[in-house]
Amino acid sequence: WLPADGPACAADRARVVGMAGGARYYELSCGADPGLVLRLTPEGRFDRAWPCAEATGIAGGCKLTGEGS
């Protein structure tokens, strides 16, 4: 899901966060690194990522890592 020039994440867990405006949102747990919330386009392409610490306003924040919740 992440482009080569995007944020680094060795994802060990993922969670569907929800949908809004056709976009899909996912949370990734990145092992020992901070987690991310991703937004994918309706076609399934990467659009944007937020560190969990900045994603508290997206469906209640990250749940897999506990960051930002």
Instruction: For residue 46, give every residue at least 6 positions away whose Cβ sits within 8 Å of its Cβ, in sequence order, or none.
Output: 1, 2, 3, 6, 38, 40
pTM assigned to the model: 0.86
Burial level of 42, CB count in 10 A (0-12/13-18/19+)?
exposed
Q: Could you read off the pLDDT of 15-65 as tens digits, one per residue?
A: 999 999 999 999 999 988 889 999 999 999 999 999 999 999 999 899 997
d(CA 4, CA 68): 25
User: Which pLDDT value is given to residue 3?
Assistant: 79
